[in-house]
Amino acid sequence: MAVETSEMTGVEIVDLASTPLRELNRRLHGLADGAPGPRRWRVLNPNGAHAVGCGLDAEIDVEIEGHVGYYCAGMNKLATVRVHGNAGPGLAENLMSGTVIVEGSASQSAGATGRGGLLVVHGDASARCGISMKGIDIVVRGSVGHLSAFMAQTGCLVVGGDVGEALGDSIYEARLYVRGEVAGLGADCVEKGLEDEHVAELARLLERAGFDDLDPRDFRRYGSARQLYNFKIDNAGAY
């Protein structure tokens, strides 16, 4: 197994060109519940592999040097995962806590159903970003695609660029902040005022994401009109 430990840096290095993904994830899972082991990891040559670093449950740092496929850092708890590349669909799906950072762009369904933690995308994210989000905070420096924040329940989606069609369709209580253009709003999603509390919340999120060069007051806020919370036949046309 091509695992090296650098005594100089204290960073455990795993090369996926020669180490099975199963072995990497098995070792990372072994750090749960405070088990002893390296706290800093570097993963080399991911080459688009799926499920890299999924199911982590430890306060560790994982640096992935390259592009990843589907479900990178899926269901992560506590760990900080940084991808020095692009990410495939389902990035950080069902994120529980911790932080996931992608320095490139992310494909569809980034942060889907996430329940906590922070997802940061330096580039763009594709369609369905933040779909069914349940408490996660997502900050995308670039643009996101259509049907982002579909059925978003709680948490914040911050978009520094533009947004595709049907933003926040059937949204519940999530807060959406957009700096650029919105191609269209989904059912029951409306623009709302940007009050001081929202500016403060946005400033905190941008700072955590490392995007504090963006001015919170340049954003607009969107959320639920709450007209579809209980079925009424008069709203049938909205479905």
Partner 1 sequence: MLETERMRSHDGAWQPGLRESYLFDRNVIAEIQRASREGIYDIRGFGAKRRVPHFDDLLFLGASVSRYPLEGYRERCGTDVVLGTRFAKKPLELKIPVTIAGMSFGALSAPAKEALGRGASEVGTSTTTGDGGMTEEERRHSTTLVYQVLPSRYGMNPDDLRRGDAIEVVVGQGAKPGGGGMLLGHKISDRVAAMRNLPKGIDQRSACRHPDWTGPDDLEIKIHELREITDWEKPIFVKVGATRTYYDVQLAVKAGADAIVVDGMQGGTAATQDVFIEHVGIPTLPATRLAVDALEELGMHRQVQLIISGGIRTGADVAKALALGADAVSIGTAALIAMGDNSPEYDEQYRKIGSSAGFYDDWQAGRDPAGISTQDDELAARFDPVLGGRKIANYLRVLTLEAQTLARACGKSHLHNLEPEDLVALTVESAAMARVPLAGTNWIPGA
Per CB under 8 A, residues contacting partner 1 are 21-22, 25-26, 29, 50-51, 54-55, 57, 69-71, 74-75, 77, 89-90, 93-94, 96, 108-109, 112-113, 115, 128, 131-132, 134-135, 150-151, 153-154, 170, 172-173, 229-231, 233
Minimum CB separation from partner 1 for residue 207, in Å?
25
CA 218 to chain centre: 22
Minimum CB separation from partner 1 for residue 195, in Å?
20
Compare residues 188 and 206 and give the one whose CB is closer to partner 1: 188
Compare residues 136 and 214 and give the one whose CB is closer to partner 1: 136
Compare residues 119 and 131 and give the one whose CB is closer to partner 1: 131
Q: What DSSP line would sit under 64-128, residue for residue?
A: EES-B-TTTTTT-BS-EEEESS-B-TTTTTT--SSEEEESS-B-TTTTTT--SSEEEESS-B-TT
**Number of neighbours of residue 194 by Cβ within 10 angstroms:** 16
Tokens matching residue 48: 């688009």
CA 205 to chain centre: 13
DSSP-based helix, strand, coil % in the chain, nearest 5: 15, 30, 55
Distance CA(126)–CA(88), nearest Å, equals: 10
Minimum CB separation from partner 1 for residue 233, in Å?
4
Compare residues 94 and 105 and give the one whose CB is closer to partner 1: 94
Which helix (H) or strand (E) segment is 33 a member of? none
Q: Taking a C-beta distance cutoff of 8 angstroms, is the pair 86, 70 a contact?
A: no
Minimum CB separation from partner 1 for residue 116, in Å?
10
Minimum CB separation from partner 1 for residue 210, in Å?
26
Compare residues 3 and 75 and give the one whose CB is closer to partner 1: 75
Distance CA(111)–CA(114), nearest Å, equals: 5
Minimum CB separation from partner 1 for residue 150, in Å?
8
Distance CA(160)–CA(11), nearest Å, equals: 33
Compare residues 38 and 55 and give the one whose CB is closer to partner 1: 55
